[in-house]
């Protein structure tokens, strides 16, 4: 059942992105920035948590889920360490993903060459 919920939730978030790409002139880079920021704001307002509880990976795998992890980490950080946690919590919660993206991204770019665009 959690697979079906993940499929539907994740699919719907991507459909919102597709509509934005088709109906506005937003580039995919702007969509990514918008979605992460939206994830942070919605989590701060307590709206994204129920979506994660329903959709599981369907809500955490799309980019708003990255924003969710950032905001949740910052809120948790404040509870545990006060004002220092507001700065350290977000990055701490997402450190694994950020480091993985940098390391795997770097290594792949070093090892592979761009394919010719035919």
Binding to another protein (CB under 8 A): which residues in 60-79? 60-63, 65-67, 69-71, 73-75, 77-79
CB of 37 to another protein, least distance (A): 5
Of the pair 50, 87, the CB lying nearest another protein is at 87
Q: Count CB atoms within 10 A of the CB of residue 26.
A: 15
Handedness of CA 80, 83, 89, 92 (dihedral sign): negative
What CA–CA distance (Å, rounded) separates 84 from 74? 9
Cβ distance 62 to 73 under 8 Å? no
Q: Which of residues 15-44 bind another protein (CB under 8 A)?
A: 15-23, 28-29, 31-33, 35-37, 39-41, 43-44
CB of 2 to another protein, least distance (A): 6
What CA–CA distance (Å, rounded) separates 50 from 96? 24
51 in contact with another protein (CB under 8 A): no
What CA–CA distance (Å, rounded) separates 78 from 82? 4
Number of residues that bind another protein (CB under 8 A): 81
Of the pair 50, 107, the CB lying nearest another protein is at 107
């Amino acid at each position: 059942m959690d697979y079906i919920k993940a499929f539907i939730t994740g699919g719907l978030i991507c459909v919102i992105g597709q509509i934005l790409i088709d109906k506005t002139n937003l580039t995919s880079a702007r969509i990514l920035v918008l979605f992460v920021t939206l994830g942070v704001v919605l989590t701060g307002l307590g709206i994204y948590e129920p979506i994660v509880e329903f959709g599981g990976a369907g809500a955490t795998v799309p980019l708003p889920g990255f924003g969710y992890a950032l905001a949740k980490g910052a809120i948790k950080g404040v509870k545990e360490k006060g004002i220092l946690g507001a700065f350290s919590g977000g990055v701490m919660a997402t450190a694994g993903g950020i480091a993985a993206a940098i390391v795997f991204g770097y290594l792949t770019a070093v090892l592979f060459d761009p394919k010719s665009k035919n």
